[in-house]
Amino acid sequence: MKGKKIIVGVTGSIAIIKTTQLVRLLTKLGCEVKVVMTSAATQFVTPMTFASLSGHPIYSDFTENKDTGEWTNHVHLGLWADAIVIAPCSANTLAKLATGQCDNFLMAVVMSARCPMFVAPAMDHDMFLHQGTQNNLQQLTQRGNILLDPAEGSLASGLEGKGRMMEPEQMIVKIQSYFQPDSKLEGKKILITAGPTYEPIDPVRFIGNHSSGKMGFALAEAAAQRGANVTLIAGPNHLKVNHPLITYIGVTTAAEMAKHCCALFPNMHIGILAAAVADYTPAEMASQKIKKTHASLNIQLKPTLDILQELGRQKSSEQKLIGFALETENLIENAQEKIKKKNLDFIVANPANEKNAGFGGDMNTVTLIDSDLRYTPLPTQTKEKIAHQILDHLCSQHL
């Protein structure tokens, strides 16, 4: 953290008193901190407080350079930063961040910046749960910003619930882990598969599944954040790749995915296969749309290549291979069998039919099972957090 340039953006909320501690901790770690206050923030704490703690003047207005006539200090400040932390982030500022509304100095700094942004919401329970706030948060995190999730507890209004700004010590852990990720993955080449495959029946129909690709994309993003060079091969999806260390290859069918995986895996250090690949594909694709008749229709299916099993067969002693197991019954037993059959280092076992698990949602519940059959259940949490825990497990137990 030493020498990192951090902008702390402070908005109008009583949680601002905790931000004084955040600025103190950051400067103690050797960061250079500049504080930008909105005018609402100055109603809670005087600029002098943050100026004393940060050792820099407070920034809250556009200033003009008298000699040159320029008034672009927001741009210089935005480009100066290695990270921006908005703490506390009021519901109003959150909405502006989500929509890019630029009506004050803080927003102009944020919009000029190219660095990562951490957002620490602080507001009352109902305001936090309001669909508008939740939509704004979703938009912000989807764009790669990092949420410093508020805690539950007693709130300034006297109510109880979620909305208390994260404690400064916890924020420091999050910011630190962004700058000092586990270096074991730095420079490693990782192949990740994600999403469903679509197997064409005729020019307008296919056999597919409900996989959204979120788990595989979260893994790709988390590995790239740790400095890995990621190749992400994904079936049809609606997601976006954000990180420059991710090379994206979009495919449609199991055969296309298999072709790319088999060609690329020999040059990879690690393979993580999270895709929900079709096990069967139509033996032949009809060249024209199949017309409706009154008779029943049989479509002959043939098995696809099991990509994971094939990579397990090719795997060298230096390579690591991780699979997923999606099960509706006998989760642990079936997953253990797949580890052996596919020659894996570990498997992520995923119950398909439980709440907050499996396809589509933002949350997941998984158990990590090692080849020696030790198993580690993880709590139900976001797919982003699970992705990081899978990588933590890989780094601590297998690299």
> Smallest distance, Å, CB 193 to ligand CTP?
6
Among 168, 181, 271, 323, binds ligand CTP (CB under 6 A): 323
The span of 118-126, 174-182, 324-332, 356-364 binding ligand CTP (CB under 6 A) equals 324-332
Nearer CB in complex with ligand CTP: 81/326:
326
Q: Is 275 in the site for ligand CTP (CB under 6 A)?
A: yes
Cα 43 from Cα 289, distance rounded (Å)? 67
Nearest to 133 by CA among 159, 167, 162: 162
Nearer CB in complex with ligand CTP: 8/192:
192
Nearer CB in complex with ligand CTP: 94/273:
273
Nearest to 389 by CA among 148, 399, 379: 379
Restricting to residues 185-204, name those near ligand CTP by CB under 6 A.
Answer: 193
Active-site residue, 343 included: no
The span of 26-34, 141-149, 230-238, 270-278 binding ligand CTP (CB under 6 A) equals 270-278
The span of 171-179, 323-331, 353-361, 371-379 binding ligand CTP (CB under 6 A) equals 323-331
Nearer CB in complex with ligand CTP: 58/326:
326
Q: Are 168 and 22 in contact (CB under 8 A)?
A: yes
DSSP of 88-140, one letter per residue? EE-HHHHHHHHHT---SHHHHHHHH--S-EEEEE---HHHHHSHHHHHHHHHH
Cα 42 from Cα 65, distance rounded (Å)? 24
Query: Which tokens hold the place of 14?
Result: 């009583």
> Smallest distance, Å, CB 261 to ligand CTP?
8
Nearer CB in complex with ligand CTP: 38/193:
193
Q: Is 279 in the site for ligand CTP (CB under 6 A)?
A: yes
Beta carbons within 8 Å of 216's beta carbon, 6+ residues apart: 192, 193, 194, 195, 232, 234, 272, 274, 275
Cα 179 from Cα 82, distance rounded (Å)? 10
Among residues 92, 209, 229, 237, the one annotated as catalytic is 209
Among 10, 83, 110, 273, binds ligand CTP (CB under 6 A): 273
Q: Is 268 in the site for ligand CTP (CB under 6 A)?
A: no
Q: Is 175 in the site for ligand CTP (CB under 6 A)?
A: no
Give me the half-sphere count of Cα atoms (radius 13 Å) on the Cβ side of residue 350. 25
Give me the half-sphere count of Cα atoms (radius 13 Å) on the Cβ side of residue 237. 27
Where do contacts with ligand CTP occur on this chain (CB under 6 A)? Answer: 193, 254, 273, 275, 277, 279, 304, 306-308, 323-326, 338
Catalytic residues: 209
